Amino acid sequence: MALLGADLAPGVAQLTAPDGHLFTLYAGTPDDLADYRDVTLVPATPGLEAPNLALPVSTAYVECRWEDLFATTVAHLADHVPGQLWALDSNDVAWDARAIDPWRILL
């Protein structure tokens, strides 16, 4: 997030867009993943496999009210993290970070 110009503090990073909108990322813990172990994830793109949460994964929580800011920021983050980055929306839809549709995602 520092590469994107975010303000950093222990366990949290906050990006302020030019229009003042905020994207806040909170570091997850191993216990947070338990919230998703029994959830059936639906891939946003038909034919694409949803992430396998039985594999080693990391979690983070995001607060953002603007779908366009969310989609753009997550796509930029995907360029800077190793492995595949997914976003799970409020309907348990799994989005490839580089293919989030701001008109369809439910924050």
pTM of the model: 0.87
Q: Which of 56, 55, 64 is nearest to 26 (CA)?
A: 64
Do residues 105 and 42 lie in contact, with contact meaning Cβ atoms separated by under 8 Å?
Answer: no
CA-to-CA distance for 49 and 25, rounded, in angstroms? 25
Average pLDDT over residues 4-29: 93
Q: Which has the higher per-residue pLDDT, 2 or 106?
A: 106
Do residues 87 and 95 lie in contact, with contact meaning Cβ atoms separated by under 8 Å?
Answer: yes
Residue 82: what pLDDT?
A: 86
Q: How confident is the model at residue 11 (pLDDT cuts 50, 70, 90)?
A: very high
For 18-51, what is each residue's pLDDT tens digit? 999 999 999 988 777 777 777 778 889 888 887 8
Residue 72: what pLDDT?
A: 96
Q: Which of 18, 16, 19 is nearest to 63 (CA)?
A: 16
